[in-house]
Amino acid sequence: MNSDSEKTMFTGYLTFRNIDFTFTFDGDVLRLIPPKDKEKEILESWTLPSLHGLFNASGPTKKINELQMKKALLVGRRSESESVIFFLPQRNTNMTPSNYDFLVKIDAWFECNDEKQRINRMTFSAPEVDRIYPFNLAWDEKFQTREIPPKKLLESPKRRFYINQSENRPLNVEKKRGKKHWVDAYFFVEPVSDSQSNVFRSFLAFEFKPTVNRPFLFTLWRVAKRFLQFLCYRRNVFLPEAKLFGPDLKDNAILYVLGESGPQDDEALEKNRCVKQAHIAGSEEKILSAIASYLLVFWHFPESGVEGGYIDPGRFILITAAFEWEYKRWKKIKRPKTALRENIKEISKLYDNVVGAFIKMLFRCNGQTFDIDDVANRFAAQRNRYAHGNLDELFDGMTLFGVTYMEYLIYAMQLRRFGVDDLNIQRAVNELFGLGMNPDAM
């Protein structure tokens, strides 16, 4: 959230359910204030039927969800500037009555001068983007003069993926919902001026056909965030804002996303724990399409780089589920016909030339010899113990090594599915997990 929105209370007016409301917005919660002469009528019609439905012997009434926010967009005008402000509410959550007012939870918002202004480009910046597409590829030092270098010193090739643009439905390419549109994705580097020097920053950009569909912008933001999370193998990647550009905009607008704050993962950033764009070059559109279609699993990712070094029963189960999901996709089956340990052995054989050297080094450093039969059996046995509710049983050291191996395997399976070659998979896994090996010499 920008500092201005944290300090300022926005006020204005908007129409919702054919009622003209006054609103206040503190950068977090949108408060809808009904007209004085209608406040009692609105409160009763939106809340009392819900209570009545709870005790109706024939079942809930149709009005039981009157407090539920079903709209994907609320459009208002600010009193302070008369600019148009777009609110993207959290859909299917309940508004909270507060006296006669209603509090609405907001996912994101932005403002511009005209309700019909079209958007055709979004850019995202974060410390993680600087590591994924290092700006030192363009220049090795900061400019110490006030002269600004040419824009976009370096730009990756544009990769086109397709996405469903639908105002009222979630993104889901697989189910053919909404109207499918193209989006060009690429990274670029450009100088950013401060008071003393010009420094280089890296950006992720999405370009698309000019649109007035505001919820679509938040959908693209979500794809960008998950893309960066995938390349960093952790959840604590934050994108609090995105710059918006369009043919009708004199100045760029900013999409502010609520709840996008947290401590920066300094250790992961300092150690460059991420997959460089160079290692996935040519496969970006496949990764982005999988994310947009909900065909890429993230549930086993650790919250942070530090937490990635710890395994508890919950994360063990999620890692197992991620492996089984990827295995079924590879086999194109709904249910494996063989036991988990056999599936692990099968995949291990296929990926031994990719990630085998990494796990063998880990075992060797701990005075052990890697044996896939033993690793698979221990892993499957631990899964079975948890499946039967024995969550209090501790891991033994060899099983922990097996969990680490599974993380390597899952990530390698995902990258190969997207067409990344084996050498770049090795480079990616080596950098992502900080293994300190030289894949080019392996």
pLDDT digits (tens, 9 = 90+) for 347-387: 999 999 999 999 999 999 999 999 999 999 999 999 998 88
- Measured CA distances, 335 to 132, 190, 316, 331, 406 (Å): 36, 48, 20, 9, 19
pLDDT of residue 196: 59
For residues 261-268, give the mean pLDDT: 92
Residue 62 reports pLDDT greater than 50 = no
**Sign of the CA dihedral running 356, 362, 365, 366:** negative
For CA atoms 377, 383, 384, 389, give the dihedral sign.
positive
- Between CA 355 and CA 290 the distance in angstroms is 23
Q: What is the mean pLDDT of residues 199-218?
A: 92
φ, ψ of residue 417 to 5 degrees: the values are: -60, -30
pLDDT average, residue stretch 328-343: 92
pLDDT band at 407 (very low <50, low <70, confident <90, very high): very high
pLDDT digits (tens, 9 = 90+) for 213-238: 999 999 999 999 999 999 999 999 99
Question: What is the per-residue pLDDT for 197?
Answer: 58
Segment 297-304 mean pLDDT:
94
142 pLDDT band, cuts 50/70/90, is very low
E-strand spans in 212-345?
Answer: 241-245, 253-257
On the question of pLDDT at 3 being above 50, the answer is no
Does pLDDT of 398 surpass 90?
no
Q: pTM of the prediction?
A: 0.89
> Does the structure show a pLDDT above 70 at 174?
no
Cβ atoms within 10 Å of 203's Cβ, excluding its own: 22
CA distances (Å), 163 to each of 159, 166, 173, 210, 221, in order? 13, 9, 6, 14, 13
Residue 388 has pLDDT above 90, yes or no: no
- 280, 424 contact by CB (below 8 A): yes
List pLDDT tens digits, range 91-125: 999 999 999 999 999 999 999 888 888 999 999 99
User: In 3D, which of 302, 327, 324, 326 has the Cα closest to residue 315?
Assistant: 302
What's the rounded mean pLDDT across residues 261-275?
A: 93
β-bridge mates for residue 257, sequence order: 108
CA torsion, ordered 11, 17, 18, 23, to nearest 10 deg: -10
Residue 81 has pLDDT above 90, yes or no: no
**pLDDT(13) > 50:** yes
How high is the mean pLDDT of the chain? 86
CA nearest neighbour of 230 among 437, 439, 440, 410: 410
